[in-house]
Amino acid sequence: MNALSLVLPVGAVFVLAACLSGLLVPLATSALARLDVRSPWRSAPVCAAVVLAPWALGALAAVALVSPHPFAGCHCTEHGLHHPHLCLVHPSFAEPLGAPAAFVLLAWGLLVAPRVVRLVREGSASAAWVRAIRRAPAASIDGIAVRVAPCGAATALTVGAFSPVIVFDPRLWDTLGPETRRAVLHHEAGHRVRGDGLTLLVLRWAHALLPGSRGERAMGQWQSATELECDAHAADAVKDPGLVAEALLAAFQARSTSSEGSVPSHALAAVGAEGLEGRVLALVERTERDRAARLGNDVLAILLVALGAGALTVVFPGEALHHAIETLIGLGIR
């Protein structure tokens, strides 16, 4: 019972801090939109961090709440009764907060339930689609496995979150020549190496669990940034940025002239045709002195930073932040 009495308030603080932080997401996406697409501040990790930041800040608040300064000892008897006390040493002190915390979590659950149900359905449909694609015969180009199967549109996709598969729609496969086909394949291989399918899944869940969030724009910015990274990877792989630009234009033309269908809405695929002009320009201007593509996973990079921030929060501001959050809780329940 004591453990549950501590879990509920900490969970409520986690959710409330994330929801309040989420109000800043539109401001961050607007600031990013004013930057050039090739700006380091509009890179894929930064765009992903905008979507994940509310939950990272919520986690920091929760960490600060249950982990006061490690060298300060238990503080519960030092501050009187002007606010609630939450700590691992005396979890029973949190019992009076159980009912309001349960109400907050219940309200949050009801608000996000429709999004969660929709995302679960789309994820299930996507998993079935990926399983069907895996049954298609695989070809190999430059040691990269690729399958040719209907995608709903004349396009190429990297699908699947945990074991990505590269698939070409037959219409695009037949339209492209051997070299442009190879360039598109290396672009998709960049998505696979980066784990963009997994990142997109995490971002979609982060967005779905934030009531009222307008994170779609930030996710669109992230996808545009990943396209630039994978274009750069393909250019380095085929050693011809102009060939990759030609392949992008050919793929765009094939998709534009195709009169049938579109990519399934449930496809958890890292794709994005937006910003084609900027992508082609970046390839045309690319030189050997430009940096190599970033092939690290964006979520992993953000997680490492968040873990470091969490450790720092325990040490500094530590006790002060812990006490401030408890004081805010006290003001909120009066």
Helix then strand then coil, in percent of the chain rounded to 5, is 65, 5, 30
Mean pLDDT is lowest, of 6-20, 68-82, 266-280, 291-305, for 68-82
CB-CB contact of 175 with 154 (8 Å): yes
CB-CB contact of 229 with 190 (8 Å): yes
Is the model's pLDDT at 163 over the cut of 90? no
For residues 131-160, give the mean pLDDT: 89
For residues 12-40, give the mean pLDDT: 88
pLDDT at 229: 93
For residues 223-238, give the mean pLDDT: 92
Map out the domains of the chain as residue ranges: 2-332
pLDDT at 111: 94
What does the mean pLDDT of the chain come to?
A: 82
**Contacts for 264 with CB less than 8 Å, ≥ 6 apart:** 125, 126, 129, 152
pLDDT at 272: 46
Tell me the whole-structure pTM to 2 decimals: 0.86
Share of the chain above pLDDT 70, in %: 78
Is the model's pLDDT at 99 over the cut of 70? yes
Q: Quick one: CA torsion of 234, 238, 243, 244, rounded to 10 degrees?
A: 0
For residues 190-215, give the mean pLDDT: 89
pLDDT at 31: 92
Mean pLDDT is lowest, of 178-192, 216-230, 265-279, 296-310, for 265-279
CB-CB contact of 153 with 259 (8 Å): no
Share of the chain above pLDDT 90, in %: 35
N residues, the chain: 334
pLDDT at 40: 85
Per residue in 287-330, pLDDT tens?
Answer: 877 888 889 999 988 888 878 777 776 666 656 666 666 666 66
**Contacts for 329 with CB less than 8 Å, ≥ 6 apart:** 9, 13, 83, 84, 86, 97
